[in-house]
Amino acid sequence: PMGSERMEMRKRQMSTTQETPGAAQAQHSTGNRGSNACCFCWCCCCSCSCLTVRNQDEERARRTSHELQAEGIPNCEESPAPTLEEVNAWAQSFDKLMLTPAGRNAFREFLRTEFSEENMLFWMACEELKQESNKSVIEEKARLIYEDYISILSPKEVSLDSRVREVINRNMLEPSQHTFDDAQLQIYTLMHRDSYPRFMNSAIYKDLLRSLSEKSIET
């Protein structure tokens, strides 16, 4: 009987020894899952505040861009093909370039190559705002323009000085068709002085001019 009791005790000890590493490993694995609940920052919660803010900002930027595009900002203005006379006139002044949809489209294509297309998009949005008369529509479009082109959080923010920004912030208290007039003029001047000279020397303009000149000679 004493031998049997010793054998039984040994079996229990061996069983306990085998179970202990497994339990420890399970506990360790559980602990790891808890500490790695958030893989982007040193916190143990599943709802990381930094990720929440980041995701909200990204979602807001995507939503703003989509909403503004849905409001009627076209990818490309509809226009007939420019004539040789029109393209030659673009070289005479920036105003003549901006007066025609074909001119704006060609210039916008050039701005896209310089990663400054937002300047033209902002100018076009301001022009569209001026055509509105409904107060609620004006307020909504002004808000979208502000979020997409004026806000420092926007990837399409245009370059404006502090004075103009202060004017906009005051105007946004009661938005109107002319809320962004000062900003629109500043961006127009920037495109005129900075981008327009380079556009006139660009392959986009020269290729278009050469193509139309060749067609004119053929006819």
Q: How far apart are CA 218 and CA 215, in angstroms?
A: 5
Query: Can you say whether residue 61 is alpha, beta or left, with left for phi > 0 and alpha for psi between -120 and 50 degrees?
Result: alpha
Q: How far apart are CA 116 and CA 56, in angstroms?
A: 25
Contact by Cβ (8 Å): 182, 164: yes
Q: How far apart are CA 34 and CA 28, in angstroms?
A: 10
Q: How far apart are CA 52 and CA 205, in angstroms?
A: 46
pTM score, whole prediction: 0.65
Regarding the domain delimited by 84-216, which CATH topology (the fold level of the hierarchy) does it fall under?
Regulator of G-protein Signalling 4; domain 2 (1.10.167)
168-219 pLDDT, tens digit per residue, is 999 999 999 999 999 999 999 999 999 999 999 999 999 999 999 998 888 7
Confidence class for position 24, pLDDT limits 50, 70, 90: very low
- The residues spanned by each domain of the chain are 84-216
